[in-house]
A = this chain, B = another copy of it.
Amino acid sequence: MKPQTSYHHGDLPAACVRAALELLEDGEPSATLSLRAVARRAGVAPSAPYRHFADRDALLTAVATVGYGELAEHLAAACPAPTSPEELADVAVAYVEFAVKRAALFRAMFGEPCDHENPERVAATAVVKAYVADLVGRCFPGSDADALGTAVWALVHGLAFLELDGKLDDAPDTAYASVRSAVRAVLDLARQPAGSS
């Protein structure tokens, strides 16, 4: 829309993030996102992004931020308000599905060390956290929502990473089944209690 020939870009920050997301989707997932590639894709000199992002990490953080939002959307789309354990399994599958289908983005979001302090990032993860907390509150009323919430998040997060690293089942089909039965196995503890200490 905007004149492409303009010296100024118009909205380079957004364009960079968009370009980065596209590269993460397109490229093979093993390639690391390069700032120069982003600049190229945005049709701009390699150093231009530095006007808007302090360094590569800052760009990554911006990308991860929208990633968190899309993850939350994906989960909500799979099951907006899960109440039963079986629906929890659906959510787990959706989480792993997101990790698999958008592996590069997922790795950008969680794979490399980031500054935990960044308020943007914290705020963005809060969306996921809230979704999980909601889920736990509905599925397991009367439980320690905080503790169980982190446990549930950790469970699905761990499943996603193990799957990404090929440590679940090999066949992509049976992987989702593995996820489901892993979640079921945990919930089945509720029926045949273990020998408690």
Interface, chain A (partner B; CB < 8 A): 29-30, 83-86, 103, 107, 110-114, 116, 125, 129, 139-140, 142-144, 147-148, 150-151, 153-159, 161-162, 164-168, 170, 178, 181-197
Q: Is the CB of B185 within 8 A of A148?
A: yes
Chain B residues, CB < 8 A from A139: 194-195
Do residues B196 and A147 form an inter-chain contact, with CB atoms below 8 A?
A: no
Closest Cβ–Cβ distance, residue A133 to chain B (whole Å): 13
Q: Can you name 29 A-B residue pairings with CB atoms under 8 Å?
A: A29-B113, A83-B195, A84-B196, A85-B197, A107-B112, A110-B165, A113-B165, A139-B195, A140-B189, A140-B194, A143-B185, A143-B194, A147-B182, A147-B184, A148-B185, A150-B162, A151-B155, A151-B159, A151-B185, A154-B154, A154-B155, A154-B157, A154-B158, A154-B161, A154-B162, A158-B159, A161-B161, A190-B190, A190-B193
Nearest CB of B to A72, in Å:
14
New contact pairs (13) apart from A114-B166, A150-B159, A151-B185, CB-CB < 8 Å: A116-B167, A129-B167, A140-B194, A144-B185, A144-B188, A151-B182, A153-B167, A154-B155, A154-B158, A154-B159, A155-B158, A157-B161, A186-B186
